[in-house]
Every structure is written in structure tokens, then in C-alpha cells.
Amino acid sequence: MRNLLLVWVSAELLWAQPLAVNTGVPLRLEPGGILWCEGTWINGVGGTFQNSGTVYVLGDVRNDDPGQLFIAGATPGTLVLQGSFQVLQGTQPIRTDTLRLVGSGPKVLDTDLYVDGQLQLGDAELRTQTHKAIVRNPDPLALTRQNGFVSSDLGGYLERWTDRTAVYLFPVGGHTPLRYRPVLLTPSVGAPHRWAVRLANVDPTSEGLPRSQRSPDLCEINPLYYHYVDRVAGTDAATITLTYDPADPVKGPIAQWKALWEPTPASAGPTAWSLLSWSDFSTPNFAFSAPALTSQITASADTLAPGEPVQLTAQVAPPQPGLIYTWLLGDGQTATGTPLTYSYTSPGQYWVTLIVTSSEGCRDTASYRLIVRGTTLYIPNAFSPNGDGLNEMWEVPAQGFRQVRWRIYDRWGLLVAEGQGSSIRWDGTKNGQPCAEGVYVYLIELERADGGIEKRAGTLTLLR
């Protein structure tokens, strides 16, 4: 049969609420026993409580005895906090085997907390403020939650002890504004270690880690929060996984503070980045970053004819989704996207400027020069294929035209030679045999880059 001890105390002290005070008496609750305190529990100097049962407290808990309150018994006990807003306070830390938080109201630390069994957050916030909540049970399942989390101010943190190569959850978050960004930590060896984690739910700059002081390889640092992750005891590495929300403004690779924010070799995962086998905790402050962009332009050609299409392609490092590409094409026109196909109508020199913008607002620019040459056609009226090495070929360079088709006729209207391509070359022969001196007629059809057709006709003189 279980022992049930109900404590109903009507005395009023300070907050005008029920109060239970132990001024120096050793108390013990046997296994299966239940103690119910409707108000605040105060453990004065000299007071001890060996709890092997279950203690329910609806008010605050205060401990002023170095014994830390709820000293270890042969059978672990449980402390249940089920008030709407409760403070754990005193001049000495509070220790318990299992701590169970009930309800969604915050449980606030005004002193350090040691949990040697299980920390069961449920749906509540454990607000450590500048103090430490330490789970000394190295079982990975020693900390459980539904929607609850641990929040901390500068100097406070959640500490877990580890002794195996398993995944340990640090359910850290913040209350103003409400934010949950847990950390997963996997030790590389099974030796005993201690790890401290905090979500700093503030702009890093406000805590002496200015975002403006960053490596040139970084464009931005997350302005909303950063993570504090430290190895309190031990010397071995661990894989650290920091999580983000897709709606966060900056959620790129992890950066570490070292007199300035510097990039790390983080590996990407679903809404998370991981530092694999990480052992550098010289400065245990980590934040999501936006890497600086480096862009360049490649073009299918750098010299064009009017109307000839050119394909412009943006190349950006590091590659990432969500980039916006804006082109200033040098002729007053703009365009977006990549690759881009464009045609210039007028000859000239054009400087193309590419502006790349990331979702975090990071930008980079690149430029590329294009030459658009006008169509020119010089048609010689004579040539002398006589073997002296001078003027041996009738050549018509058709610059700026897409294609040329040509025919040559003798004085009797007979076809002597024909061809097509990007230029005209005739060596003065027909079917491999030299043609006689005389006057010949040429017909030339030229196709421009825009598809238009131009025609030329005239005579040329062949000399021997």
C-alpha cells in the first residue's frame, strides 16, 4: 500500500500563498510515497529531503542548504512541477533524480539545477536564465520532450553528460520571440564527456560578436540568433548538427566566431548543417551564414554581327538555389534569368553587366564585352592566278553575314564556278582546269544574321 502525504499549509509569506518550510529537519519519502505541496517549498539551511517517491509542487521551490535538496536515495525519486509559472531558486543548487515539468507554463531557474535521472520537459519551457541545467545521466534518452524546450540567457546553458557514440538531443530555444532550434550532438568516442549548449536568441552583435566583422568569404551572418556549443569536459571530437527554420533570413553554412566570423567546412542536411568530427571549441559560438558570391559571364561568341543571337550564361560560386539574375545589356535593355539569348541590332561595343542576388540579399556583379561588327563587303574587280604568288585568288570576305552563296559565269553565260559558306574564294579554274583570261560575271547572295537577304552582281577580270 502506497504512503500518501498531503501537505496543506495556510501560512502566508511574501507572496501570500501556501508555504511549506523545512528549517533543518531530515525528511525522507519512501518508494511509492506521494507528497503534494499546493504552494511554495522552502528548504532552509540544514534541511534535507531524501526522495524515493514522487513530490508534486504547484508553487516555487527554494533551496538554501548545501545538500542541494532531494538528496539521492536508494531508489530514485521524482519531482513534479505542475504550476503555471514556477521558480527554482535559492543560495544553493537544486538536485533531483527525475524532474517532470507539467503544463506549458515556464519553469524558471534562479539557481543551478542538477538532474541525475531524467529531465522530462513535456510541453513546458525550462528557462535557465544565466544559470545551468545539467543532466548528469549519460543515457541519450535521459532528456525527453513533447513541445518543451530549454532557453538560456548569456552565461546560462543546458549541459548533458555523454558516454557513448549516440545522438544526444539538446532541445534549445528562445521565448521572446518564441523560437525552437535544437542541436544534435554525436560524440566520436564512448569516453565520458560533458557538453554545454545554448540558443542565443538575439542578434550576435548584441553579445559582443559583431556580424559586420566577418571573413571576405562571408556575405552575412544570421541576425536573429546563434548557437553556443562547448565541450565542458573531455578532449574528443563530436559531430554537431545545428537546425534552422526554412523561413529564417540567413540559413547557409555554419560560421564560427574567431575574432571575426569565419566559414567552416559544414555539411548540408535537411533544414540543418553539420560539423563532422568537430574538435575546435576554442571559441564555442556558431551561426548560420550566407557565403559571398563570385560570378562570371560566359558567352557563345564575343564578336557578332547585327541581329546575330548570342547566349549569355551566368556562372556563380558557390552554387545555391533561389538566385536572381539581372542583366544590363549595354544598349539600355535589361533581362533576367540564365542562360539568356539576346541579339543586338546596331554595330558597336557593348558592356554586359550581370547582377546576381541571393535570397539573403548578397550580391555580386560581373561584366563582359561584346563587339557587334557592321556588315562589310569588299569585292575585288580583278585577280591574276599566274603562279607568281601575288593576287592568286579572287577573295570576297563577307564580314557580318551568316552565309554567302555565289556563282561565276563566262561571257557566254555558262556557269564556271559556284559555292556557299562564310566567304568567297575562286582560284580561276573550272573543273580543275585554268580558265582563259577575260571578263567574268559574278552573282552573290548574302544572308544577314537577322535572316534578311542582300544581292550583289558585277564583273571581274581574270589576268594571266
| 251 inside domain | yes
Task: For residues 160 and 126, state if they share a domain.
Answer: yes
CB 92 within 8 A of CB 111: yes
* Cα 377 to Cα 395: distance, rounded to the nearest angstrom: 11
Task: For residues 129 and 206, state if they share a domain.
Answer: yes
Q: Per-residue confidence of the chain (464 residues) as pLDDT tens digits?
A: 334 443 333 333 323 246 888 888 888 999 999 999 999 999 999 888 999 999 999 999 999 999 878 888 889 999 999 999 999 999 999 999 999 999 999 999 999 999 999 999 999 999 999 999 999 999 999 999 999 999 999 999 999 999 999 999 999 999 999 999 999 999 999 999 999 999 999 999 999 999 999 999 999 999 999 999 999 999 999 999 999 999 999 999 999 999 999 999 999 999 999 999 999 999 999 999 999 999 999 999 998 888 889 999 999 999 888 899 999 999 999 999 999 999 998 889 999 999 999 988 999 999 999 999 877 788 999 999 999 999 999 999 887 788 899 999 999 999 999 999 888 999 999 999 999 999 999 999 998 877 788 899 999 999 98
End residue of a domain, out of 256, 291, 326: 291
Task: For residues 215 and 302, state if they share a domain.
Answer: no
Residue 314, domain CATH:
2.60.40.10
| 4 inside domain | no
* Cα 356 to Cα 218: distance, rounded to the nearest angstrom: 15
Q: Give the pLDDT confidence score for residue 74 in this predicted structure.
A: 84
Task: For residues 190 and 314, state if they share a domain.
Answer: no
End residue of a domain, out of 324, 354, 372: 372
Task: For residues 136 and 62, state if they share a domain.
Answer: yes
* Cα 240 to Cα 227: distance, rounded to the nearest angstrom: 11
CB 52 within 8 A of CB 33: yes
| 233 inside domain | yes
Q: Give the pLDDT confidence score for residue 376 in this predicted structure.
A: 75
* Cα 36 to Cα 7: distance, rounded to the nearest angstrom: 6
Q: If residue 415 lies in a helix (H) or strand (E), which one and from where to where?
A: strand 415-421
Q: If residue 440 lies in a helix (H) or strand (E), which one and from where to where?
A: strand 438-448
In order of 61, 66, 112, 296, 326, the CA distances from 92 in angstroms are 12, 6, 8, 62, 62
Task: For residues 157 and 268, state if they share a domain.
Answer: yes
Q: Give the pLDDT confidence score for residue 6 in this predicted structure.
A: 39
Secondary structure (3-state) at 207:
helix
* Cα 111 to Cα 43: distance, rounded to the nearest angstrom: 14
263 is in which domain, residue-wise? 20-291
Q: Which of 128, 115, 231 is nearest to 172 (CA)?
A: 128
| 6 inside domain | no
| 8 inside domain | no
Task: For residues 112 and 195, state if they share a domain.
Answer: yes
- Per residue in 88-125, pLDDT tens? 999 999 999 999 999 999 999 999 999 999 999 999 99
- Residue 426, number of CB atoms within 10 A of its CB: 23
End residue of a domain, out of 372, 403, 420: 372
Q: Give the pLDDT confidence score for residue 3 in this predicted structure.
A: 40
Q: Which pairs count as long-range contacts for 104-113, CB under 8 Å and 24+ apart, including other chains?
A: 104/147, 106/175, 107/81, 109/133, 109/156, 111/63, 113/88
CB 448 within 8 A of CB 461: no
Q: Give the pLDDT confidence score for residue 8 in this predicted structure.
A: 35
pTM: 0.77
Q: Give the pLDDT confidence score for residue 281 in this predicted structure.
A: 98
Task: For residues 231 and 259, state if they share a domain.
Answer: yes
| 62 inside domain | yes
Secondary structure (3-state) at 313:
strand
Task: For residues 282 and 311, state if they share a domain.
Answer: no
Task: For residues 344 and 436, state if they share a domain.
Answer: no
Q: Give the pLDDT confidence score for residue 257 in this predicted structure.
A: 98
Q: Give the pLDDT confidence score for residue 14 in this predicted structure.
A: 29
Task: For residues 312 and 333, state if they share a domain.
Answer: yes
How many distinct structural domains can be found in the chain?
Answer: 3
Q: Give the pLDDT confidence score for residue 24 in this predicted structure.
A: 85
Residue 408, domain CATH:
2.60.40.1220
| 10 inside domain | no
Task: For residues 306 and 171, state if they share a domain.
Answer: no
